[in-house]
Amino acid sequence: MKKSDLLNILQEIAGNERVSASSAELYCYSCDASQVRGMPDFVVRPVSTEQVSKIVRLANKEEIPVTTRGAGTGMAGGAVPLEGGIVLDMSSMNRILEMDIGNLQVTIEPGIIQEKLNEALEPYGFFFPPDPGSSAMCTLGGLIANNGSGMRSVKYGTTKNYVLGLEVVMADGTVVNTGSKVTKSVAGYSLNDLFVGSEGTLGVITKATLKVRALPKERSVLLASFDDPEQAGQAVVKVLSSGLIPSACEILDRNIIEAINTYDPNIGLPKAGAILMFEVDGTENSVREGIEMIRDICSPLATSIRAASDKKERYEIWAARRLVGAAVSRLDPLYTRVYLGEDIGVPIKELPGMLHKIREISEEFDLPIMTYGHIGDGNLHTGMCIDVLDEKQWDKLSKVADKIHRTAIGIGGTVTAEHGVGSSRAEYLELELGNALDVMILIKKALDPKGTLNPGKMGV
């Protein structure tokens, strides 16, 4: 079918104002926050499951790729249309369909922003715990499709722990519902788990029923400074082995501390080789007890320990922490943060060793690596900044990222703990998953035989 005919049909389905093939729009939808690029032929902003179904069915019939996109904040190219075709921008499907607090759940459309959902839940005294740094802009659909998590996953787990049910448009346009409103069900395969984290390769999520949790009565933050990240890693292992589960446990290395202080000088983090940011939530007593336990455990290793003075300081610390991934770009006017090799996860007891290896890799390639992340669940973000106009630095960066990935896999870790595989990490899945990748490929072929859903991603 000719492009002009396809454009007409898409406009008939979604309306003229919701379809674009303009040069500016196509260029803007050719990337996300990663380095991956792919130019779409059309961008559609659907408003209903029916529209999504019709578009996906059309694409399947015409064998045109369909790439689903939330807010385009991904760091692995998951929402980039590598092989052209249609980008489905789901951000207009952003309604809360049912606030079912009595059943501790909420049903939403995928385009709602994480922070907006939590703003709506707050008056009820509830929240949706997965809390990525991009919570002010990322959509729930993107979080589900990438099984995102963030700073509170050490206690509250990842998005998959909150998905009760999904409405999914399959590759042929059929609409299916997975899961149910009950919190426990073993009726059939766990299809929720199949679609969560599938990055739009198996279907398009058009609705989700999510568990929500009661907001804790109290939260408190403790900052512990260390001479180096390895010692911080040892402290984390000790804290988590004590039986205490903090609601957040973040590491910031020397450069990240400087970046936060540059972004917001009011925060004034102490100078140190590394800082651990612990948050404990719960009742007043349990929080006090938890903070004291962490203080006792960290004391022998830490150079200093201080608690956030009040709610305002706590809020400011977390707000700055959320943006630090990008804020490292401020450290040098010529350098820009590049997301590559930035999302490894390792078993908890391997943390000190991995932190040490990161330092060795940094020295070997003479490229500063800034380390931060959700160390409480073994998830380290390794941040690198380069002059993106310098080809040699790109080459060095790619080598460093590759070595970080292979080192993590070598000690039983993963190349991506929460940002997703997309296309930038697809090449490592065979090494990490072995013949489990063959099962993934079989599933992909069974559900999307023509391969129209987000082709070129996840190694399938």
Partner 1 sequence: MSESDMRSILKCIRCGTCRSICPVFDVVGWESASSRGRMLVAHGISQGMEVDQSVFDSINTCTTCGLCEQMCPSGAAPVKVVENVRRQLALQGKMSDTQKELRFEALDKGNPLGEAKDRMAWLGDSKEDVTKQADYVFFAGCMASYRYPELTKRTFDILKKYGVTVLEEEVCCGSPLLRTGSDPSELVSKNMRQIKKTGAHTIITGCAGCFTTLKNDYPGDVKVVHVVEFLADHLDEMDLKKLDMKVTYHDPCHLGRCNGVFDAPRQIIRSICELEEMKSNREKSKCCGAGGGVLKGYPELSREISKNRVEEIPKDVDYLVTACPLCRTNLKRGDPRVDVLDIIDLLEMAME
Sites of contact with partner 1 (CB under 8 A): 20, 22-25, 27-33, 43, 45, 71-73, 89, 91-92, 113, 115, 134, 136-138, 263, 323-327, 329-330, 333-334, 336-339, 388-389
Q: Based on CB atoms, which residue is closest to partner 1, 60 or 146? A: 146
Closest CB 393 distance from partner 1, rounded Å: 12
Smallest separation (angstroms) from partner 1 to the CB of 253: 18
**Least separation, in Å, of the C-beta of 56 and partner 1?**
21
Supply the minimum distance, in Å, between the C-beta of residue 22 and partner 1. Answer: 3
Q: Residue 45 or 425: which CB sits closer to partner 1? A: 45
CB 23 → partner 1: shortest distance, Å? 6
Query: Closer to partner 1 at the Cβ: 127 or 335?
Result: 335
Nearer to partner 1, 46 or 459 (CB): 46
Q: Minimum distance between the CB of residue 110 and partner 1, rounded to whole angstroms?
A: 15
**For residues 155 and 337, which CB has a smaller minimum distance to partner 1 in the complex?**
337
Query: In angstroms, what is the minimal distance from the CB of 73 to partner 1?
Result: 4
Tell me the C-alpha distance between 411 and 408, whole Å.
Answer: 6
User: Long-range contacts of range 327-333, CB-CB < 8 Å, 24 or more positions apart?
Assistant: 327/259, 327/260, 327/262, 327/263, 328/255, 328/256, 328/259, 328/370, 328/383, 328/385, 329/385, 330/259, 330/262, 330/263, 331/255, 331/258, 331/259, 331/262, 331/385, 332/385
Q: Taking the complex as a whole, how short is the minimal distance between the CB of residue 30 and partner 1, in angstroms?
A: 8
Complex with partner 1: residue 89 or 343, whichever CB lies closer:
89
Query: Which is nearer to partner 1, 43 or 298 (by Cβ)?
Result: 43
CB of 330 to partner 1, least distance (A): 4
Nearer to partner 1, 211 or 330 (CB): 330
Nearer to partner 1, 32 or 250 (CB): 32
